[in-house]
Amino acid sequence: MGTKIVTIDLGAKEYDIYIGESLLYRIHDMIPDDVSGGKFFIITDNNVSDYARQVQETLLAQGAQQCETLALHPGEKTKSFEIFQQVCEWMLSHKISRDSVVVAVGGGVIGDLAGYAAASVLRGVGFVQVPTTLLAQVDSSVGGKTGINTSYGKNLIGAFYQPGVVVADIEILKTLPRRELLAGYAEVVKYGLIEDLSFFEWLEEHGRDVCALDSDAVSYAVEKSVRAKADVVIADEKEQGRRALLNLGHTFGHALEAAAGYDGRLLHGEAVAIGMVMAFDLSSRLGLCTKADLERVEEHLAQIGLPTRAAFITPNLTQNAEKIVELMGNDKKVKKGRLNYILVKGIGNAFVSADVPQELVVEVVRDSLGSDDGQSLQEMLQDKWKSVFSSQ
């Protein structure tokens, strides 16, 4: 399988995303001259530090002057002010200069944190992303959003900062825990649901191959996803209009994540899978899409092994539907006090609407929370999800 290159054309900030196998051994070839200063600062986490070591060895063997590595504790808590300070001061202690390059080797946590550090230290140094989760390869490494969490909410401090290059080595995904892989797959499905029915149809046929990490299937899915996100980002770099579509399933999903208390029982992509089903349910109740569309989306996500209902979250959420809808109001996407919903007029046809009766939203959430409506489909889906959960 050959390496694919997707160019993100943001005018002066143009950069390439490489998608392929064994890329870490050739990473020096992919780093553009204007980003390769000779001094590299690799930020990683302890679960993927072997890949970081590989990057370090390759860069040093290819003549890098200096290459330092900092391995952090894995997990969302690492995206904090304290660790951000630690990262910046670590770079300064090793005499980082304007022509140095920060290399993020990790999932979205490391990419967001290292990217924000690269944007901030000395007011901006070179930045290279080596995303190691499916979510990071198809979503967080594309688009230039970087940042950290605060006690007031996630991702509230940050900067738009584009990398000089993104190196997505799909072989790295082989060590990713299955639940994390599937959570990333939910974002892949999202691109089909937003604007691309034929990609969704392809996923219905080949989604299993993607999740089994068949090289050609993963490479195609990552490429399609990256192009879909890039198209939207190029059209709308600072999230005014079309970029909002990328939040399909996310307003519901973020509320579920908040209700679950970020305690690990619900991964972001799992919340998004449930949230996308809710968005289709809401759209179908509003007469915008058919019930068949809703069922088709839920069926595909469940076949892959993703949760599709809030009832499947274990241990169960303690909040009722009204409380969860209230949590939706805390989302940072609220504009002038109005909550915008990403709705669909069918698969591949999403749009933004602020015109949604709250009672209907409560009903959608209540049905997603209810576990015993006696439907056999629901039981089947729940069993499927439990088997993935227990295999971890």
The continuous run of DSSP H or E covering 20 comes out as strand 15-20
C-alpha of 62 from chain center:
32
The separation between the first and the last C-alpha atoms of the chain, rounded to the nearest angstrom, is: 30
Exposed, middle or buried, 235 (CB in 10 Å: 0-12/13-18/19+)? exposed
Residue nearest to ligand NAD (CB): 108
Residues 290 and 357: their CA atoms lie apart, in Å, by 19
Instruction: Say whether 10 sits in a helix, a strand or coil.
Output: coil
* Smallest separation (angstroms) from ligand NAD to the CB of 269: 7
* 145 scored as a contact of ligand NAD (CB under 6 A): yes
Tell me whether residue 239 is one of the annotated catalytic residues: yes
Given 112, 169, 293, 331, the residue binding ligand NAD (CB under 6 A)? 112
Given 109, 203, 248, 260, the residue binding ligand NAD (CB under 6 A)? 109
Residues 199 and 225: their CA atoms lie apart, in Å, by 9
Helices and strands counted in the chain (H then E): 14, 11
Given 49, 100, 133, 382, the residue binding ligand NAD (CB under 6 A)? 133
Choice among 227, 247, 285, 340 that is catalytic: 247
Given 17, 130, 136, 328, the residue binding ligand NAD (CB under 6 A)? 136
Considering only CA atoms, which of 337, 133, 342 is closest in space to residue 239?
342
Given 79, 224, 250, 300, the residue binding ligand NAD (CB under 6 A)? 79
Considering only CA atoms, which of 351, 358, 356, 352 is closest in space to residue 325?
358
Considering only CA atoms, which of 154, 176, 369, 187 is closest in space to residue 272?
187
Q: Which residue, 105 or 259, has its beta carbon nearer to ligand NAD? A: 105
* 65 scored as a contact of ligand NAD (CB under 6 A): no
Residues 291 and 247: their CA atoms lie apart, in Å, by 21
Q: How many of the chain's residues bind ligand NAD (CB under 6 A)?
A: 29
Tell me whether residue 229 is one of the annotated catalytic residues: yes
Tell me whether residue 333 is one of the annotated catalytic residues: no
| Residues from 157 through 196 that contact ligand NAD (CB under 6 A) | 172-173, 175-176, 180
* 37 scored as a contact of ligand NAD (CB under 6 A): no
| Residues from 254 through 313 that contact ligand NAD (CB under 6 A) | 268
Could you list the active site residues?
A: 123, 145, 187, 229, 239, 243, 247, 250, 254, 268
Q: Given the rule CB under 6 A, which residues bind ligand NAD?
A: 45, 47-48, 74-76, 79, 106-110, 112, 132-133, 135-136, 139-140, 143, 145, 154-155, 172-173, 175-176, 180, 268
